[in-house]
Structure 1
């Protein structure tokens, strides 16, 4: 490893802050789409169909962004492993900010007819392309600036930034959702999207000054950068890519609570929009505190026990969550949200940035993490529309949805159990057992 200098120590803290801020600001853009898809878009962009079909189409448009993510993972992963982490991360911010601002300026279906949902879907695809490279790039940047004994802690700040982005997006939407119906549907919903211009400027200024990582600079100086990183990845690490894909099924918990449950509770059971939104804010606020703690634990005892324990906990807790949501009891809704999202889901959410990235060596780390997670996140992206198709009538109609989520969690835990424990492995040795001379 070599001697760890004060400058390197400052850089690892700075990398964590930059990843936190960039992830928070970019995922603010991504999350406001999910909130709008649940509360507004069925009545703004999908107006020529019955309400149930409009909701289904809005949820489908949310999932479409995840279709673009594997494509973006291949493209952005290639360049992230070829030219460096920093340049690609600046590009992802510009792409996300521009597409989100464009959604805020997009005429609705009453103004331009069927062109409106088509344009909305295309912009959502651009959001997906951007998001594909954001977390993986931030993870690589932070992990490669960290020392061996604290990689989980520092990389966890990428996902803590994502939680902060969810909080920021929801806080902006709470006063908007409280507007009278006519004002909400005509202009109010646009405000969070237009504010992305501020997000774009701040994120760019924060991220553009971060230096490249020592690990990537080292392989670049040795001319050891893979010419075709994706080919090297699929040849040498296909098993780890497959493992990450399956482990990433845990993300279905996030989208079923943030998107499907929001529309389900407010539309079927009359739960106030602000109740569900505040429950999400408080749960994510708790996760800001618990995720770094889970990561510290993973640096001491290993990635696998923390990840697997949290995943199996989600499989159990999803049933009380839906029981509370359908009860309409505000206290119960907030309590189960805090336990499920703020405490239990926070464990795998904090650990996966290090857990997944440490399966790969430096020259394919960006590609491996990006492609594996984004293919796995496809299930999460379509969880709202799958849930909408599974849900039955009556107060217990949620049970098939909960069974589906629990099954995804169990499968994710089983895949994680097959992984190598890497918390005590030096960064120069990560993936070394598979290292070959490649393209």
Structure 2
């Protein structure tokens, strides 16, 4: 079924901001907690989970394999594991976490589980995961390109053992194997054989959540992880606010001036989004954490930056938008793996920023952005919520920026247009 695009004119802010923005839970933590709860021996609860397109797809996929997931109000999910079963079809859309976290669980199911997604989902890399699962004794069929559609012939157990893969396209390829590893007969010794991993903080989050669930994980050897077999006990998970989804709201203070406060900001976190503070500080913002939350204030101007975003790639569209409004050129490095996201995000950013009037030079691994006078036009979002965030951010300063489809923001934040408009003082 083809989704209907919802064009939306981004509001332009006239006055400095003075906003408090409350956001839902972390997508990364919600997804990992759901998977760990599914292989635990007792009931688990998720407080403040993200209820958005990607996490609903994850929950639906687990339900298709027999897991009970119920909702208590909007702020709690209750997960009751059951023996994983086959004869299931899982729709993954274009969600990388779903297509990479659930196939290892399907190996633990009794029966056949088939995965498929959108046209873009079929293009996203799964080869290392396919290689890893076959090396662990899982029988499966994949497309000619080792991607979707994917069929896993589960036997109710996975042998486990040692496997080596090149997960350089995405750390999710490792996280998917690690999250299921406690339920493998021999556990898992996993080695990454390729170049430096993108989004390494997400992998550290996986390891720490495994440990919090009771798994024994040895990561003392670089690029190698050992997970011992174990039966995990159900537990309560308190999901932190999503520090990546908050990125455009914090960056808005730099664009317009004034301040934006986010309640509930964790004093200690493994989320990659927390690194946005250092980037925005270098670009002219200032931060203060109090009992009321994290507050960012904008400076007199946005400063150009030379920055490597390999470990916080989800921040790249927001940083690129700020760079187009800065007082000097910026260079963004470490973006090569963004070419295999929901779209080729590097090319998309170059194309859309140039259409507004910015000077952009595209490299395989990044962008050089030269600020120039910008003029509003239609900004193609490519069914990518982060491209939509970048467009909305630019629209605060540039009248006439029209998002080709704002509905894609529901992937991580349903209600984004109303929240954004309220922050900008433009109503809903």
Q: TM-score range by the shorter chain?
A: under 0.3
Which is bigger in relative contact order (C-alpha 8 A, separation at least 6)?
1
Indicate the structure with greater strand content. 2
TM-score by length of 2: 0.26
TM-score (norm 1): 0.26
Q: Which structure has more helix as a fraction of its residues?
A: 1
